Structure 1
Amino acid sequence: MTSKGTEKTLQKLKKSVEDGNHYEAHQMYRTVARRYTKQEKYRDVIELLHSGAVSLLKAKQSGSGSDLAVYMIETYKLANTPVTEESLDRVAELLELYPSEEPGRKPFINNAMNWSRKNGNNEMGDPELHNFVGTIQYHEGSYSEAEKHLLFGTEESAQLLGDLEYDWSLKETSITKGVFIARAIMQLLAMKNIHYANLAFTAFANRLDASEKIGAVPYKPAPADDHVNIPIYQDSLINFSQLLILTAQRDGADHFRSLKSKYSPAWSKENGFDFDEALSDFGLVFFNIQKPRNQGNVLQDLMSNLFGGPAPAAGGSRRVTAPSSTGTELD
């Protein structure tokens, strides 16, 4: 809770914004924030800057509002503010107010993500924050940016990722649908997120037309299990994605080598994604098959795109128990 003096200042500055004195209010917010920071009254600084950013963004003063929003995140870092529902809610409220075209939104997102990495429980950034950002960008049609965040999000993110890859495939018709879901599945599996890969694949497959399925084959998830029928698709990389998930759920190093050999003609460096490198990451993570020395790391590349730095070791973010298996022996 803010002090009485701070509350009075908040009301005065809010009134200044409402009266159209945007520049003066913006400068006063910064002046008061600096004074409170010197006094180490970080809670008051955060409340002040959040209130100011909200008021200015609502007044369509996105540049000034963005400046205060970034200042708030810098104060989060200075005060070592933990990632809590309250601190995340402030960030989410501001993100909802940002116009998509505001140049300051990306620095705000980057700063918020870096704060959540250092002050939260996840080295990849807070999953709820990734989900919130990715969802906004998905609905704006910014599929490439949204994908980067949904890969590190929640169960909801994984399902939305499947929808995103399908929608993206409709937009980029020169590339087969299977390329999109295969790229997402391999990146999730590089982080050992088998459950999330299943969720993404299921969401994607549910969007496919019946005409894109050409039959079903029997599959035994384990030697003692009964056979189940799983669908097969016209697009070989959709079949490949399903098989890769199944391979991750069993001790199938030999099956993986066979899978890689069989499907290698179906891919290339599509849409800026190196499938061979991703498959090598998969083999290392699940079967300790060493990679060629000249190859990079898909997870590190993704983290570099997001944060400009290296990633933690593969599998270090979250390990989720896999659900029931769903298929093999596909063309």
Structure 2
Amino acid sequence: MSQRPKRVVLPPAQENIEKIEKVLNDGNSYGAQQMYKSICARYVSAQRYSEALDLLQSGACLQLKKNQITCGAELAALFVDTLVKGKIPYNDESLGRVRKIYELFPQIPVKHDLGLDDDVQELAEALGAAKIRVECCSSFLKAALRWSVEFGAPRLGSPEIHVMLAEYLYSESPELDMARVSYHFVRGNNHIKFASTLVNFMSKCYPSEDDLAIARAMLMYLSMGNLKDANLLMEEIMKHVEAEQLEFCHSDLMQFISYLLQTLQRDAFPLFSMLRANYKPSIDREPAFNELLDEIAEKFYGIKRRNPLQGMFGELFKMM
């Protein structure tokens, strides 16, 4: 008669945390990584999710502190995966654990202005390293957003995690994409930090880009029906501009945004349409603005967007 295999008794997670930390401190990052993954899998298999999370959080933080970005990011991803497997609710405690890992992703400003005598290879390596950091941190935070939606956060994901992602993309991306940064800020809950970021961007972008960045942010808020935060953002931007004695861009596009904010406080769709027509050249500076304005018309005035395909097929039927 065959004997059943003995069930492995797992020690408290802290014992393994201390054991693996010693391996990592001895310089064996790869060996420690394999231990984190294999031992964590045992706790998950035993449905001891809390201890698995302790182990993974400790490992991710330690690897990131030692600048082992890919190792730390892998453990951070496993941490989020375990949040999902353990059906851990989104609350202040679990959000705080995500934040602790996020704050240890290195933030190293990329030097773009190397002189003629500097090594071009040095710049290429710095940009490559920055790209890896951004990809690793973004993957972790996007996974955390998906978890948050499933386990108790608002429909669009944790506002706090959106702000973390926006901050990291702005500070670390070697190729700055303000549309992507703004996408996450408008789903966040910190218009003060958003305003500070936009004003900082204004100080270093091309003169023709500053009003586009502000208009994009405002239209993104409004396309979600969020007139309150759009107004708060504009007020905060003006406070920063005044405090720092900066020159604010008074372009036609900014004039349009000012009138739009006033118009949306009233049931005045004809005025909304007139504004779009009068400021069409300014709006057309960025193709996405017209789509955002269509969404705004739907949110504030119930005007359904016309499907371009319907128009095309309608013309075909007329011809036939």
Q: Which runs of 5+ in 2 are unaligned?
A: 1-9, 108-129, 310-320
Which of 299, 302, 314 aligns to 1:288? It is 302
Q: Within 2, Cα distance between the matches of 1:263 and 1:150? A: 26
Structure 1 counterpart of 2:95 = 88
Q: Within 1, Cα distance between the matches of 2:304 and 2:275? A: 17
Structure 1 counterpart of 2:52 = 45
Percent identical residues: 28
Structure 2 counterpart of 1:113 = 145
- Note if 1:149 corresponds to 2:184: yes
CA deviation string 1:35-94 (max 9, x = no partner): 111111111111111111111111222221111111111111111111111111111111
Q: Within 2, Cα distance between the matches of 1:261 and 1:208? A: 30
Q: Within 1, Cα distance between the matches of 2:295 and 2:145? A: 25
Matched residue SS, 2:279: helix
Which of 193, 197, 210 aligns to 1:177? It is 210
Q: Do 2:138 and 2:165's aligned partners in 1 also have CA atoms closer than 8 Å?
A: no
How has the CA–CA distance of structure 1 residues 212 and 32 changed in structure 2, closer, same or farther, with 3 Å as cutoff?
closer
Structure 1 counterpart of 2:116 = none
Q: Do 1:36 and 1:44's aligned partners in 2 also have CA atoms closer than 8 Å?
A: yes
Q: Do 2:183 and 2:220's aligned partners in 1 also have CA atoms closer than 8 Å?
A: no
| Bigger-Rg structure (1/2) | 2
The one-letter amino acid paired with 1:73 is: V
How has the CA–CA distance of structure 1 residues 208 and 104 changed in structure 2, closer, same or farther, with 3 Å as cutoff?
closer
How has the CA–CA distance of structure 1 residues 42 and 84 changed in structure 2, closer, same or farther, with 3 Å as cutoff?
same
Count of aligned residue pairs for this structure pair:
270
CA deviation string 1:148-170 (max 9, x = no partner): 2111000x2x2332333333344
Q: Do 1:177 and 1:235's aligned partners in 2 also have CA atoms closer than 8 Å?
A: no
Which of 285, 293, 306 aligns to 1:279? It is 293
Q: Within 2, Cα distance between the matches of 1:259 and 1:211? A: 28
Structure 1 residue 243: Cα displacement: 1.7
The one-letter amino acid paired with 2:93 is: E
Matched residue SS, 2:103: helix
The one-letter amino acid paired with 2:13 is: T
Matched residue SS, 1:104: helix
The one-letter amino acid paired with 1:129 is: I
- Taking structure 1 as the reference length, what is the TM-score of the superposition? 0.75
Matched residue SS, 1:24: helix
Q: Does 248-257 or 68-77 show the bigger shift?
A: 248-257
Q: Within 1, Cα distance between the matches of 2:290 and 2:253? A: 13
Structure 2 counterpart of 1:63 = 70
The one-letter amino acid paired with 1:189 is: L
Higher helix share: 2
Q: Do 1:52 and 1:68's aligned partners in 2 also have CA atoms closer than 8 Å?
A: yes
Which structure 2 residues correspond to residues 1-331 of structure 1 after superposition, within 5 A? 5-99=12-106, 101=130, 102=133, 103-140=135-172, 142=176, 144=178, 145-154=180-189, 156=190, 158-173=191-206, 175-208=208-241, 234-270=250-286, 273-294=287-308
Q: Do 1:178 and 1:235's aligned partners in 2 also have CA atoms closer than 8 Å?
A: yes
Q: Within 2, Cα distance between the matches of 1:204 and 1:185? A: 11
Q: Within 2, Cα distance between the matches of 1:211 and 1:98? A: 32
CA deviation string 1:283-311 (max 9, x = no partner): 1110112322129xxxxxxxxxxxxxxxx
Structure 1 residue 108: Cα displacement: 1.0
Relative contact order, CA 8 A, sep 6+: which one is greater?
Answer: 1
Q: Within 1, Cα distance between the matches of 2:76 and 2:152? A: 19
Q: Do 1:169 and 1:175's aligned partners in 2 also have CA atoms closer than 8 Å?
A: no
CA deviation string 1:186-240 (max 9, x = no partner): 1101111111101211222334478967xxxxxxxxxxxxxxxxxxx73121121
Q: Do 2:60 and 2:72's aligned partners in 1 also have CA atoms closer than 8 Å?
A: yes
Q: CA RMSD in A?
A: 2.3
